[in-house]
Amino acid sequence: MSYAGAPPAARDFWVDRPVLVTGATGLLGGRLVARLIDLGASLVCLVRDDAPSSSFDRSGDIGRVSVARGDVRDQALMERVLGEYEIDTVFHLAAQTIVGVANRNPVSTLDTNVRGTWVTLEACRRSPTVRQIVVASSDKAYGASALGCTEDSRLEGRHPYDVSKSCADLISRAFAETYGLPLVITRCGNFFGGGDLNWNRLVPGTIRSALRGRRPVIRSDGSPLRDYLYVEDGVTAYVRSAEAVATMPGIAGEAFNFSNGQPLSVLDMTRAILDVMGSDLEPDVRDDAHHEILEQSLDATKARTVLGWAPDWDLERGLIRTVDWYRQHVSSARAEAREGAIELQLR
């Protein structure tokens, strides 16, 4: 299917629009909530567990939205929330997103990521008010596909997290094709930005190690290639995707890749972070990671031509902003105890 490009949404598109965000306590979810508040949306956020260290809570945004407490796998809850708040637009981001956790706890990850998706979509299908849905997939849905994946590349995850995203992606396409559900699917590279407190991820882990004067640990051999996308560019991608569903009816069921088109090896990304920080520390390359995708990157041509999306942040500017956030929030000695509590919450 060919498109001339998404017409721009009206300036007041989001004003007073009832929007549900699942996964608001995550890195992307918290930033998306902040953007939608600025745009004037009437927000409802599904929250399973308290996350006082998340940007959603820390920024005070939790007090600016309606909060529905519960699990995304609860069908009755999802239908009640959509009905009582007369939700118009749904951003489904809730997921277990840590690859290592998925390898250790595959059943929990599959249940959350796969069942959580079909429950959300079935609730949307039953709702008379839902008009736009954006489902968060991932570049990992492509599995071991190599560089330059397009939206037509096969979805063939091989390990628990990758499989969960392949399945959620296919389920979303099935609901769009079979029931005409007005949704689009986003497939993004690795997000980074201030507020990510999953320390076993490359960017926050490297920054915290450098702030402590410790060599950052690389679990792989440093060679895997990945896309890295600053989180604010991801937020723009999600907002633009929802607007496109509203302004381009024929777009329902489509998937879009979002990438800055500059894949880096894990080792090169680590060194880029250290350079921004002015650190001469050498990475500690352990080479003990398992089930790593060796080379993967996304071709975002479709998002650029159809949605008119392009990243606003280059890698260096995004890293400078990210490092500044961690310098403010993590570098003090008093943060040690707080971070220990955060790490326990994330296990």
Q: Is the pLDDT of residue 195 over 80?
A: yes
List the catalytic residue out of 161, 228, 230, 326.
161
Which position has the token pair 């999953």? 198
Q: Is the pLDDT of residue 176 over 90?
A: yes
Tell me if residue 161 is catalytic. yes
How many C-beta neighbours within 10 Å does residue 120 have?
27
Two tokens, residue 281: 């520390």
Mean predicted confidence (pLDDT) in 228-235: 98
Which of 5-19, 109-123, 149-163, 196-210 is the least confident region?
5-19
Give the 3-state secondary structure of residue 125.
helix
Contacts of 5 (CB under 8 A, 6+ apart): 305, 306, 307, 308
pLDDT at 337: 41
Domains of the chain: 18-195+229-261+291-314 (3.40.50.720)
Q: What is the pLDDT of residues 18-68, one digit of tens each?
A: 999 999 999 999 999 999 999 999 999 999 988 888 889 989 999 999 999
Two tokens, residue 166: 């392949």
- State the chain's mean pLDDT as an integer: 91
Strand partners of residue 185? 135, 255
Query: Would you say the pTM of this structure is higher than 0.85?
Result: yes
Angle subtended by helix axes 315-330 and 335-346, to nearest 10: 110
Residue 138 DSSP symbol: -
Is the distance from CB of 309 to CB of 236 less than 8 angstroms? yes
Which of 77-91, 231-245, 333-347 is the least confident region?
333-347
Two tokens, residue 208: 């915290």
